[in-house]
Amino acid sequence: MITPHSFAFGQPLRIVEQADRRPKKVFVLGVYASAVHAHWIGPDGKEKVRALAVASEPYIFWRGDGAEEIIAGITVPPAVGKLVPAAAEFNGPSGMALDRLFLEPLGLSRDEAWLCDLVPHSCMNPSQREAIKRAYAPRMQEHGLPEVSIPAVPAQLADDGRRKAILKELIESQAETLILLGDQPIRWFLSSFDSRWQRLSDFQPYGAEHEVQLDGRRLRVLPLAHPRQVAKLGQSSKEWYERHKGWVDSKRNGH
């Protein structure tokens, strides 16, 4: 657990990391952990926040299961309303995209993948910060609501210490293939070991594997677009969506 950070309504911010430590075929590196999102409805029945982050995701690359039970366990003063699960698109979309659009085309299941993030906990993005400022902060003192202290997305997504920790996990996983999701894992992890690549567009063609040396360990690297792009989650790139779709189609056709 990370202390003293906490979400709106008091749930603690937690480290989210790989639980199954058995050897794996691939090691997947993402950016930062997601969160459980609730729809906050005021006592008058009107919407306060459409999707408010209220808890750390229960496991890495969460698929949205159990959201109702998690949210039901959060204490909310009746005077400020109630929490119900946010729309399905807000809970677990990256985890579902990982399974369907990354692992399945490779013929892999979750049991064969070791999952990791550059930042191993949830972060507060600008839209969440605005929601807290608008709807939550004005009610904190009046209703005794806990302070929100989730850190913002850091400008530096990994320092030397974090890179060493990720490398340690990678070695423990015994995976022979490292899958990188988008620009950030390339910039903040891979490029520190191999300066040939700084971003996803440096790799050609899309979806090809490359051999690299990481601290003396030979690996295959498979750089792919972030789930946000390939599953059209919020603002996304049509170009990366189309490139990834072509890769998925080629894998499913046996090429």
Mean pLDDT (the chain, rounded): 95
In whole angstroms, how far apart are CA 248 and each of 108, 118, 179, 241, 242? 13, 25, 15, 10, 10
Question: What pLDDT is attached to residue 78?
Answer: 96
Rounded (10°) CA dihedral 193, 213, 201, 63? -90
Question: What pLDDT is attached to residue 24?
Answer: 98
Mean per-residue pLDDT for 185-195? Answer: 96
How far, rounded to the nearest angstrom, does the alpha carbon of residue 37 sit from its chain's CA centroid?
A: 13
Phi, psi of 31 (to 5 degrees): -105, -70
Residue 147's contacts (CB-CB under 8 Å, 6 or more residues apart) are 6, 140
The CA angle 226-156-16, to the nearest 5 degrees, is: 60
How far apart, in whole angstroms, are the C-alpha atoms of residue 97 and residue 230? Answer: 8
- pLDDT (tens digit, 9 = 90+) per residue, 32-70? 999 999 999 999 999 999 999 999 999 999 999 999 999
Among 69, 39, 57, smallest CA distance to 131 is for 39
- pLDDT (tens digit, 9 = 90+) per residue, 128-139? 999 999 999 999
**Percentage of the chain lying above the pLDDT 70 cut:** 98
Question: What pLDDT is attached to residue 2?
Answer: 43
Mean per-residue pLDDT for 20-29? Answer: 98
Question: What pLDDT is attached to residue 255?
Answer: 66
- pLDDT (tens digit, 9 = 90+) per residue, 208-249? 999 999 988 899 999 999 999 998 887 778 999 999 999 999
Q: Answer for the pair 102, 177: CB distance below 8 angstroms, yes or no.
A: no
